Amino acid sequence: MTLFWALPTVLLLSLLMTAGLRRYALARSVIDVPNARSSHTVPTPRGGGVAIVVTFLLAIVGVMLSGAGESRTLMALGGGGALIAIIGFMDDHGHIPARWRLLGHFIAATWMLVWMGGLPPLTFFGWQVNLGWLGGVLAAVYLVWLLNLYNFMDGIDGIASVEAITVCLGAASLYSLAGLGGHAVLPLLLAAAVAGFLFWNFPPAKIFMGDAGSGFLGIVLGGLSLHAAWLAPELLWCWLILLGVFIVDATYTLVRRLLRGDKVYEAHRSHGYQFASRQFGRHLPVTLAVAALNLCWLLPIAFCVARLGLDGTVGVLLAYIPLVLLAVRFRAGQIEERL
């Protein structure tokens, strides 16, 4: 099957599967009921992210059978992503203690890194550095942090879906411009799978993603970024730039809460995007702003790194400084009662 037919097929399958999951959630009362830590006010079905998981995993199988992708990369993404989705699904329908969830997260990250061959040499200010086993440890921490921050950032309608779609489309365009268009298949398929779900998740959302979907997206996007580093070192910096909105908001918020002595594993509403959605009184402006930042600010900087010779480290700093200022502007990490 060509990519021309695969993308609409994946999108349609995800859309229909999300509709089925919504009916199932309503029938079985799998409902996210608003509480003091919620950013929504209406009880809403949850677990729709399973459609993204199943659809993308089926797409991976299709790519593997067609011989259009690298088998080791497909095994890395499929196996690691599936394990995270299972853990998230179990936690959505019950409760898994944080220490066991974290252990599962590191097992999935290790699986990915073993199949991918670890972390490739990185380039800092023109110098190539091979971190060896330390690089593998740092890469595992990076993957675990990315999957968890994606869960933290999935707090208002459409934001996690829009982030994944715009990041994947941006990365695919950079691959094509760099002469690596054949490797754009996986980001495009993931974007199509998320787009089908977004039809139901766009503000006002008719179903939520749930931990299974958000964690899956986080680790798969992380895996794609590490795979990009093996293709060309500068592409890892491009992925870090494209993911900047989520990385900066989540990390800035976590650091502030750690310094204050908060229990960081407890639910809260102190991310910058959550304060922004309450300030504007709606989710839609914030979700659209994330899309605009990704496409109009972060993608051009990533292009400069990929094609115009801008150093990746400089590109990340240039991209992140305004995002940090936005996090400060919208009080990320501040106790809500202080408003």
Report residue 111 CA to chain centroid gap: 18
| Closest residue by Cα to residue 215 from 141, 147, 165 | 147
Rounded Cα distance between 276 and 42, Å, is 19
User: Could you give the 3-state DSSP secondary structure of residue 260?
Assistant: helix
3-state secondary structure 306-333: HHCCCCHHHHHHHHHHHHHHHHHHCCCC
Rounded Cα distance between 286 and 333, Å, is 17
Q: Is 201 part of any known ligand binding site?
A: no
Rounded Cα distance between 84 and 234, Å, is 28
Alpha helices in the chain (DSSP H): 3-27, 49-66, 71-92, 98-116, 132-153, 159-177, 185-201, 210-231, 233-242, 244-260, 272-280, 284-293, 299-307, 312-329
Quick one: tokens of 334?
């501040």
Q: Is 35 part of any known ligand binding site?
A: no
Contact 20, 50 (CB under 8 A): no
Burial of 33 (0-12, 13-18, 19+ CB in 10 A): exposed
Residues 6+ apart with CB under 8 A from 103: none
Q: Known binding site for Mg(2+): residues?
A: 151, 211
Question: What residues are designated binding site?
Answer: 151, 211
